[in-house]
Amino acid sequence: MSWTPGSPEIKSLWALDPRVVYLNHGSFGATPRSVLAMQAELRDEMEAEPIEFLGRSWPARAAEVRERVARFVGADPRGLALVTNATQGVAAALDAVDWREGDEIVVGDHGYNAVKQAIRRLVVERGVRLVEARIPFPLQERAQIVDAFAQAITPRTRMLLVDHVTSATALLCPVFELVALARARGCLVLVDGAHAPGMLPLDLEALGADFYTGNLHKWVCAAKGCAIFYASPDWRERTHAPVTSHGYTLGFHEEFDWPGTFDATAWLSLPAAFEHGDRLGWQALRAKNHALVREGRAEVAHALGVELPHSDDELLYGAMAAIPFPRGTPGSGPELNARLYAEHRIEVPFTSYDGRIFVRISGQAYNSPADYSSLASVLASFG
């Protein structure tokens, strides 16, 4: 179907408050009405007969939805599990490795705090070292990201933990090259694709990382609490679910499919999220979301009087972009976010990296170019 971003028909697919200019799809996604409707039906079904739903029929239903997800991300379903979020996927991967004192984990300095916290815990409990690869930003070319990791590797490096899309700076990292680097230097590699599924086409078998995790509740527009965790064949038998439950040691899927009693409707409503994306067309969606962000970031940067931190190369960013704030900005990131929301009903995050504040815009089908113009005109008058 042909469609225009931000048109009334497209906006009506989502339940978002029409009074808010919503430019933060990146943080928690936004779930379309069709997915919420399927989830509500599933909840009714679950509450009508909880034992049938969560007991007898669950293993077959979980397997069916997993097969569908596996096709979408190009994974062998035998190595793919559903988890609640990327934070849990990272936890499962880090827990699988027999860390030795002095082992080093290299993570990009644009990395996500919750993930670094998981490594800091290993620092305290297992004596590993957290090493940051310094990725320049502004960035001229993708090769600088690979160079940053290459320079951080030492003979003690055990694992590279690579963001597929960085959170604060919205950069796409060249994961194929980074997996190749890890292989060449004898390191394990965990790819944190929290923002990747739906924003970028995925082929996890071709990528060949040891572990991959990514959210479905962001750019696949699934209900909240849907994510993937992938383990390569070498790791499947040695990897446990982040929560130990009945399935412990009974097999990869047995472990992950039952984290204890939970609301399984988020996972089971995934077919509606895929249908939503299929109707808009995944390729068209990616291209239109990227175009919104490309135009939006230029307009916002112009209004702020700042240089863009990287070129328009499509390999450098997808459906999000970070624009630096001029130095001497009045207020912290959270203060700026609260002010924009309170005074202008614009929802946009302000991130920070290397002592600088960035405004991070997202582009999703419900956005229109006018949303970025509203942001730009408000930011231009900020003092």
- Contact between 255 and ligand PLP (CB under 6 A)? no
Binding-site member from 24, 31, 215, 289 for ligand PLP (CB under 6 A): 215
For residue 360, what is the DSSP state?
Answer: E
Cis (ω within 30 of 0) for the bond into 324?
no
- Contact between 362 and ligand PLP (CB under 6 A)? no
Nearer of residues 316 and 378 to ligand PLP, judged by Cβ:
316
Nearer of residues 194 and 321 to ligand PLP, judged by Cβ:
194
Q: How far is CA 315 from CA 126, 289, 358, 377, in A?
A: 37, 14, 20, 28
- Contact between 109 and ligand PLP (CB under 6 A)? no
Give me 116's structure tokens.
């670094």
Q: Which stretch binds ligand PLP (CB under 6 A): 79-87, 140-148, 293-301, 330-338?
A: 79-87
Q: Which stretch binds ligand PLP (CB under 6 A): 66-74, 188-196, 201-209, 354-362?
A: 188-196
**By CB under 6 A, how many residues form the interface with ligand PLP?**
12
Binding-site member from 103, 192, 210, 371 for ligand PLP (CB under 6 A): 192
- Contact between 195 and ligand PLP (CB under 6 A)? yes
As a whole number of angstroms, the distance between CA 54 and CA 166 comes to 36
Minimal distance in Å, beta carbon 192 to ligand PLP? 5
Binding-site member from 14, 22, 72, 112 for ligand PLP (CB under 6 A): 112
> Quick one: which of 198, 235, 239, 195 has its CA closest to 220?
198
Nearer of residues 6 and 242 to ligand PLP, judged by Cβ:
242
Half-sphere exposure of 226 (CA within 13 A, CB side): 31
- Contact between 87 and ligand PLP (CB under 6 A)? yes
Q: Which stretch binds ligand PLP (CB under 6 A): 81-89, 136-144, 170-178, 283-291?
A: 81-89
- Contact between 194 and ligand PLP (CB under 6 A)? yes
The DSSP annotation for 143-211 comes to: HHHHHHHHHH--TTEEEEEEESB-TTT-PBP-HHHHHHHHHHTT-EEEEE-TT-BTTB---HHHH--SE
Give me 153's structure tokens.
């590797």
Minimal distance in Å, beta carbon 277 to ligand PLP? 18
Q: How far is CA 305 from CA 99, 294, 301, 323, 374, in A?
A: 48, 16, 6, 11, 16
Q: How far is CA 300 from CA 305, 324, 369, 378, 383, in A?
A: 8, 10, 11, 10, 15
Nearer of residues 85 and 364 to ligand PLP, judged by Cβ:
85
Binding site for ligand PLP (CB under 6 A): 85-87, 112, 114-115, 163, 167, 192, 194-195, 215
